[in-house]
Every structure is written in structure tokens, then in C-alpha cells.
Chain A
């Protein structure tokens, strides 16, 4: 029996339910595919099961205790019945019906502390950023690490708390750095390979449009963290990203 099992196994290609452009654009149903729910960031579910008539009688269906949780800022992302919950350098994939853990990922060693706000999902992978600024792509079903790609230097003071945003096969990631005298970046990485495709400097560097509005060297440590997940308009092909107020550091 086992031999027949093994034989069968060698000739079957792997496939899993894929998350694509269509899923990310459709209104929310029983999935929550991205940090803000939908590209337009309405964060509104159209499910009708919970309503003003029964909200008072809600009871917990299940509870999952995130181990050693200290500051949970993660938005649970749900796709194909799996719920992905994160905290810094950790992902927990849960059976959304029972709350039971399917797999977990821990990044060791975890350099520096910072919150994490969740995963993005595309194709058969989930993506999340670490406190040392790696974008990690994992198989959504098993948690196998497919690749990891570094986009900023933690030793300079950068971390990456925002959930990534998927736009047309690109993973958009940002950075945060508290009150350190640094400048923000917004990066797009190839969702298949992890290659950095472009970088936007939120405070324009010399030669970039707008730099002339900064006197002298004041642009060098002006802030502009990209610390939250943006929104995307597929009709206009326009990415709207929020960033912290530029401020001079001293």
C-alpha cells in the first residue's frame, strides 16, 4: 500500500488555491485577503450573519493564544479557510473554523523589537516583513520558506512593521524608524523572485523632484516613515500610501 502511495506521489503536480488579481479586487465575502480588507481600504465586511439584532448575543467561538504576545497589532488575513496572524518575526497559520494552528514560522535570531501588522497573500504564498527588514515569502499551506529578500538595514535604525500590499504581482513594503534621523523609503519587490524593482524616497534626494524645496542638507534626516499599509486604485493604477509627517531631526 505504501509503495503504491509513493508511486502515485511522484507523478502528481502540486497545486493549491491561488490568490490573484481577481480575488484582491472582489468585494469581501468570507475571506479577508489583505490588511485593509480591500484595495480601497474600506475595512467593511458585507457579511450579514452578525447584525444589530444579534450582536448582543455574540459568544467566542474559539480563542488562540499567540505565544508570548506583548503588543499585538496584527490584522488577521483569511484566505481559503486559513487565518494568518502575526507578531514580530512570527506567523501563525490557523484553521479559521477551529482556531487550531496549522503551521508557524519564527525568525531566529530576531534582531531588535518592533510591532508587526500582518501578512499579504498572492498566488500560493504569504508575505511578511521582519524587524530586520527582510521580506519573507512562505508557502501559504505549509509555511515552507520560499525566499527572503533584504530591503533595508536594521543597523541604520530601520524596521518594517507594516503589512505588505500586493499590486499587480509586486509586493509593496515600507519602513519605520521612530524618531531617528532617517528618511523613509517605499520599495516594490517582485512577488515571484524577491528582486527589488523600484525604490521611492519619501524625502526626495538631490536630483529628484521636490528636493529643491528643502534648504541645504535639511532633506538628509527629515522623516517620512512608510509605517502603514497603503491603498490601491486598479482603475487609475494609482497607489496611495500614507507616510509620517516629515520633520527635521536634531
Chain B
């Protein structure tokens, strides 16, 4: 009887040890999923537990950065965010949270939700055809680059699916959006009368860096110029839903939503590996 009990006890210990080892080794994804209820619970927990330092609803706080705004994120996978909340971040003011694991997963689901981008959706459409539209009929590649191929005058789109939400991606192709900094169209006239068109990569009261339409960068001081005229509208055409057929437009959206360097890094951090 005594031997039987000892065996059971040893087996229990061995099982617990295995789970403990697996918990250390496996890089988990969120075992609670990312449903609306989990996200909502995570939202409540976040606003109770995290806002002493971080701001409410993912905004910037007095002592810690925003977790949901458009910025560079260092922790991208469920696992990386989970471990940061559970254990804190060494060398920073971020402490171990002390929350139960399931509550941490709820907060993880909330943080991932407010960061959700187009690449988190399985956007329907023919991706290969979308790339052909991008390079051909859509004329996107004359200004934009994807993984080293294409033009320089517009923003690099290699990770656009991880930068914009699906709605923002559609809006970028169909609505007039003011040009973002670094892409403001400008026309300058030199003292000698030479006119150069391009986008202002940088500008202050004393100087302007102008990337002209041939891809050459001009570094001007304002005193070298007779005039600097800004164009209020972006160079980006915003009628692609009209110039492309509905199928072509959807294929283009599907292709762009999958351009996500960040997603590759998330996988490097253990995204989509099974375990807990």
C-alpha cells in the first residue's frame, strides 16, 4: 500500500515537473482566445491594473508608454506580451504584475485587440492577382516599394498590412487623405529660376530636404530659394475603387493586407506555436 502511494505521489510530481518544464519551453499563444468577451474582460482589467503608469484605454500614461497607439512595438507575440506582464521588464520601471495567469491572458487579448491591423484579418482575395494589379494596372509600384522593388516617392509598403487597420487600408485607396509628414508635395523655385517638384522629406524655417520626382534628394537652405509652394493634397490617387473592378480592388487589398514584416517577427517570437 505504502509503495502504491509513493508511486502515485512520484507520478504526480513527475507530471507536475513535466508541465512546469513545458510551460518554460513552449512559447504559448493565448489559451483563452481573442473573443469579444475575453477582450472586454481584458479591457476592464487593463484599466484597473495597468493605468497607474500606462494611460487609460491603451494611451500614454505619466510613467509608461502607450500600448495601443501607432508606434514601434518591441513585444509583438502573445507570448512576449504575456511574459512582460507576468515577469516585468528587467532594467525598466515595468514590474511583475502579480495578476493570475488567466487575467494576464485577458489583458494580452485586449492589448492585441487595440493593436489589431489588416494583417490580423484573413482578407479574402487573390493575392497573386493583387500583386499584378499593384505592379500593372494600379501603377502603385511607380511610387511605392515592397521588399526592395518599386519607387521611392511614396511610403514603403513592405509592412503596410501590419501598420494600418483594414478600414485605414481601404480609406488610403479611396479617400483624399492629407499627406503625412515626409510626403508633402512641394514645388520650389531656386534663385536662378529652376523649378523642382517633389516631396518634402524634412522642412524647417531655414532649410528643406526635397526628394524630386526622379528620386534625387536636394538639400536646400531657404535663402537659396525664391519660393516654396506646398500642395495641400497628397500625390496618392484616391479613386482606385473606381479605376479598378471590384474584384481587382479586393485582390489588391488582400495582397496589401499580407505585407507584414512585423508578422514575421511575431512568428520569430513564438507566435502560433501551441502550448501554454
Contacts and interface: CB of A to CB of B under 8 A. Distances in A.
A1 B231 CA distance: 9
Contact of B201 (A80, A102, A106, A146): A102
A144 B219 contact: no
A100 B211 contact: no
A108 B215 contact: no
B214 A14 contact: yes
B231 A100 contact: no
B206 interface: yes
A147 B216 contact: no
Interface string B223-242: 00000000101110100000
Given A9-B153, A14-B151, A142-B152, A102 B213 contact: no
A15 B231 contact: no
Contact of A9 (B143, B148, B201): B143
A110 B150 CA distance: 27
A46 B197 CA distance: 36
Nearest to A97: B219
Interface in A128-182: 137, 139, 141-142, 144-147
A13 B147 CA distance: 18
Interface string A38-56: 0000000000000000000
Nearest to A103: B201
B138 to A, nearest CB: 11
B152 A139 contact: yes
Nearest to A3: B237
A144 B145 contact: yes
A147 B213 contact: no
Contacts of A106: 72
A97 B202 CA distance: 14
Interface in B167-212: 185, 197, 201-202, 204, 206-207, 209, 211
A145 B156 contact: yes
B238 to A, nearest CB: 10
Given A8-B197, A10-B139, A147 B215 contact: no
Interface string A72-94: 00000000111000000000000
Contacts of B206: 98
B216 A15 contact: yes
A100 B152 contact: no
B213 A2 contact: no
B129 interface: no
A156 B83 CA distance: 25
A241 to B, nearest CB: 28
A12 B158 contact: no
A99 to B, nearest CB: 10
Q: 4 closest A-B pairs (Cβ-Cβ)?
A: A14-B215, A146-B148, A2-B233, A141-B217
Interface of B: 72, 74, 139, 142-143, 145, 147-148, 151-153, 156, 158, 185, 197, 201-202, 204, 206-207, 209, 211, 213-217, 219, 221, 231, 233-235, 237, 265, 268-269
